[in-house]
């Protein structure tokens, strides 16, 4: 039985406002040297891990199976016994945190790196770790928040920036410290692209208990809008159109295209144009990040006001906004649901195109008469073996010529269940023939395929275009 999640860790990024026990220039220099040392140390540890794992590269080159990392390599990978500790006077825990991070990163991408599918994930900037046991504390005094951090040269006392822009993060830290004196976890300090010193404070806060009663709040994407939200057993939805996002996407595309064209004719200004392109991309990414946060917050707050115990999220239809950070958006909703004690159920379905000659799959086929016209009905079936089984099923259904509109790859054990789900989804357009066969009207199923963008997902669009309009 799975354990119930009772706590969650959230990182709040807050800039430094003032240095209490020294000059700002000395503090900034210490942060720069510390983060530079962290970056060099992290990259050296990654390179040392890859060099120590040379036997796995040899095994892969000779056709052998790639084994797990040896115990000796695991023991040597951590910095406690390495030469890196000498570069961290009185900061052994920071060195250990960097080593643990490098080891986890390498293990996560190890098989792809050995196969040549991914390069070694060297970083251009690595934050300086601030373990709580080595002197990182946060406290409040006279309405202001202060922190004590330990860097390479000395321990600094600083004041965190406050105001409406950081009220949410400050309140999160305040609530966490009220419940637990040790709520602050290992945090980081870094320099952003504009030279600001940012404290990434990791806070462990309790998740509210889920409500035992309450209705379901359904959130789904749509063909004509970004999101459509409606409470269960209610007919009054409200939508997020997000028309401004399309404007942002067109603006970014137009500016990047113009800058890319200008780069071809003047080599002297290429460096300047590269900087401009980075600024355009950064501006768009910041807009998307803000949109994900604000939209997720509005959805969860709406569910709280409606006294809903569960949010049912379906982002299957992505044709209205294909270029959108969907993974980050779902993650933000999950975080805010944890804070409010609301259960999130993600029912997003993804139709994976299979090799229809070998892989088990659910197929949607359109029968065609010998004169080239389709019969305006679709058969939904499943096959677990090669195409001969599907051919026999189609022959038993009338022996028509046919076109496969799309196919959904599924494990063999879930084929029947998935077929029943599709039959239930299109039950409103079911057609039962005289011989008892179940068919479905073409219009409704075809409209759903176009919304989900799975029409012709096995690469036969040219064949489909001869029968229907794609």
Q: What is the pLDDT of residues 380-434, one digit of tens each?
A: 888 886 555 666 666 665 556 778 888 888 888 888 889 998 999 899 999 888 8
* SS3 of residue 359 by DSSP: coil
Q: Flag residues of the chain having pLDDT under 70.
A: 1-5, 70-83, 134, 208-213, 370-372, 385-400, 470
- DSSP class of residue 453 equals T
**35 within 8 A of 189, measured Cβ to Cβ:** yes
Cα-flanking dihedrals φ and ψ of residue 54, to 5°?
-65, -25
Q: What is the pLDDT of residues 92-118, one digit of tens each?
A: 788 888 888 888 888 888 888 888 888
DSSP strands (E only) in 142-297: 144-150, 155-160, 187-191, 197-206, 215-220, 227-231, 238-240
Q: How many residues does the chain have?
A: 470
Residues 128 and 88: their CA atoms lie apart, in Å, by: 11
pLDDT given for residue 296 in this prediction = 93
Q: Which of 409, 410, 378, 407 has its CA nearest to residue 394? A: 378
pLDDT given for residue 210 in this prediction = 52
Domains, the chain: 1-207 (no CATH), 215-346 (3.30.420), 361-465 (no CATH)
**206 within 8 A of 7, measured Cβ to Cβ:** yes
**366 within 8 A of 373, measured Cβ to Cβ:** no
**154 within 8 A of 160, measured Cβ to Cβ:** no
User: How many helices and strands in the chain, by DSSP H and E?
Assistant: 12, 17
Q: What is the pLDDT of residues 245-257, one digit of tens each?
A: 889 989 999 998 8
Q: Which of 370, 423, 444, 15 has its CA nearest to residue 199? A: 15
**69 within 8 A of 78, measured Cβ to Cβ:** no
pLDDT given for residue 80 in this prediction = 45
DSSP strands (E only) in 373-412: 377-383, 401-409
Residues 173 and 178: their CA atoms lie apart, in Å, by: 9
Residues 317 and 449: their CA atoms lie apart, in Å, by: 9
Residues 327 and 90: their CA atoms lie apart, in Å, by: 40
Q: Which of 288, 303, 302 has its CA nearest to residue 252? A: 288
Residues 6+ apart with CB under 8 A from 186: 97, 129, 130, 131, 132, 136, 202
pLDDT given for residue 198 in this prediction = 92
Specify the long-range contacts of residues 134-140, CB closer than 8 Å, at least 24 apart: 134/91, 134/92, 134/93, 134/94, 136/184, 136/186, 136/187, 137/184, 138/173, 138/177, 138/184, 138/201, 140/174
pLDDT given for residue 307 in this prediction = 86
Mark 91-102 as b/e (b = at least 16 C-beta within 10 Å). bebbbbbbbbbb
pTM: 0.54
């Amino acid at each position: 039985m799975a354990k119930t999640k009772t706590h969650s860790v959230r990182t709040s990024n807050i800039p430094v406002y003032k240095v209490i026990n020294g000059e700002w220039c000395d503090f900034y220099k210490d942060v720069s040297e510390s983060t530079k040392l962290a970056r060099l140390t992290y990259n050296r540890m990654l390179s040392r891990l890859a060099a120590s794992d040379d036997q796995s590269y040899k095994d892969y080159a000779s056709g052998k199976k790639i084994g797990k990392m040896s115990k000796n390599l695991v023991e040597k990978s951590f910095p406690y016994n390495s030469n890196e500790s000498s570069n961290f006077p009185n900061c052994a825990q920071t060195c250990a945190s960097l080593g643990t991070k490098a080891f986890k990163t390498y293990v996560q991408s190890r098989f792809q790196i050995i196969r040549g599918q991914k390069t070694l994930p060297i970083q251009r900037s690595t934050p300086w770790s601030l373990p709580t046991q080595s002197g990182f504390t946060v406290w409040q005094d006279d309405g202001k928040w202060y922190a004590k951090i330990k860097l390479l040269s000395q321990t600094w006392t600083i004041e965190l920036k406050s105001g409406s822009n950081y009220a949410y993060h400050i309140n999160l830290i305040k609530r966490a410290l009220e419940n637990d004196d040790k709520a602050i976890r290992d945090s980081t300090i870094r320099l952003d692209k504009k030279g600001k010193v940012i404290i990434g404070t990791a806070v462990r806060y309790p998740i509210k208990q889920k409500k035992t009663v309450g209705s379901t709040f359904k959130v789904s994407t749509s063909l004509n809008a970004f999101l459509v939200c409606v409470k269960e057993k209610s007919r009054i939805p409200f939508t997020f159109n997000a028309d401004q996002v399309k404007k942002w996407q067109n603006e970014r595309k137009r500016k990047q295209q113009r800058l890319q064209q200008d780069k071809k004719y003047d080599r002297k200004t290429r460096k300047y144009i590269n900087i401009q392109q980075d600024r355009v991309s950064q501006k768009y990414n910041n807009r998307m990040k803000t949109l994900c946060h604000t939209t997720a917050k509005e959805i969860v707050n709406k569910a709280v006001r409606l006294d809903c115990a569960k949010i049912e999220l379906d982002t299957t239809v992505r044709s209205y906004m294909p270029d959108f950070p969907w993974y980050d958006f779902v993650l933000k909703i999950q975080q805010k649901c944890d804070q409010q004690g609301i259960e999130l159920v993600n029912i997003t379905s993804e139709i994976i195109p299979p090799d229809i000659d070998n892989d088990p799959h659910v197929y949607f086929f359109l029968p065609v008469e010998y004169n080239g016209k389709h019969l305006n009905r679709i058969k939904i079936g499943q096959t677990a073996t090669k195409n001969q089984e599907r051919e026999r099923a189609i022959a038993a259904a009338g022996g028509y010529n046919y076109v496969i509109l799309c196919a959904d790859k599924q494990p063999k054990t879930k084929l029947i269940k998935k077929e029943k789900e599709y039959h239930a989804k299109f039950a409103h357009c079911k057609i039962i023939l005289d011989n008892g066969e179940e068919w479905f009207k073409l219009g409704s199923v075809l409209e759903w395929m176009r919304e989900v963008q799975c029409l012709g997902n096995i690469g036969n669009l040219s064949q489909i275009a001869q029968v229907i309009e794609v």
